[in-house]
Amino acid sequence: MTAQEAFLGSSVPHAAQRAADIIDVLVPRGAGPHPPDERARLIAVLRAYGETGPIEVSAADLTELRRAAADLREVFAASDVAVAAALINGLLAGRAHPPRLTTHGGESGWHLHVDGSDDAPWAEWFLTSSGLALAVLLAERQAPPAGLCASPSCGKPFVNVGRGAARRYCSTACGTRERVARHRVSSHRTIETAGP
């Protein structure tokens, strides 16, 4: 395990991507109710990111996790780095505790937490660990740490890593689909203006 992998339990980008994936489960992109398999999907994401042992998420936990996810989604939707920084600072203020190292009773390597304890509620852990990861990415990149896919048919949250320009799409598939759609519209307009 590298030093950065141990930082938040795995790595900063990993923790930020976990936030994006949990937001994608808990904050519906379209109108309508939460899906009936929401809890199972959440648990699958937590397992995929290394949670071990029994994962019990009560109805109250789920409600609080939804609120935390909606709050974190605002960071992903931030228009610029200053807005993202202000949102992250606001989320961590009054919620984050002094940094502490933990191994969860020897179940993992030493890593940093800013929640109240190893038994903190799910929403507190999620909001503080995600806020810390996004804060580190913002400081490293000096740019928004995350975004929402610009494809009108998608809107999925994603994480910006690396030093390049900020991404606009969650995947190359969404970016390609939008480029093809713009090309078709442009080609159609060219044909119409050329006329017979």
Band (pLDDT 50/70/90 cuts) for residue 1 is very low
- Domain total in the chain: 1
13-40: average pLDDT: 90
Cβ–Cβ under 8 Å, residues 13 and 63 = no
Q: What is the CATH number of the domain that holds 157?
A: 1.10.3300.10
Q: 189: which residues sit within 8 A by CB, 6+ positions away? A: none
Q: Confidence band (pLDDT; 50, 70, 90) for 195?
A: low
In terms of residue numbers, what domain contains 14?
3-194
Structure-model confidence comparison of residues 183 and 71, the more confident one:
71
Instruction: State what percent of residues in the chain have pLDDT above 70.
Output: 87
Please give the Cα distance from 145 to 57 (Å, whole number). 28
CA distance 81 to 147: 11
144, 88 contact by CB (below 8 A): no
How confident is the model over 124-183, as pLDDT tens digits?
999 999 999 999 999 999 999 999 999 988 999 999 987 777 788 888 889 888 877 776
Mean pLDDT of the 39-45 span: 96
Q: What is the mean pLDDT of the chain?
A: 87
Which helix (H) or strand (E) covers residue 112, if one does?
strand 111-113
What pLDDT is recorded for position 183?
60
Question: What pLDDT digit, counting tens, does each position of 16-25 carry?
Answer: 999 999 999 9
With 50 as the cut, is the pLDDT of residue 108 above it? yes
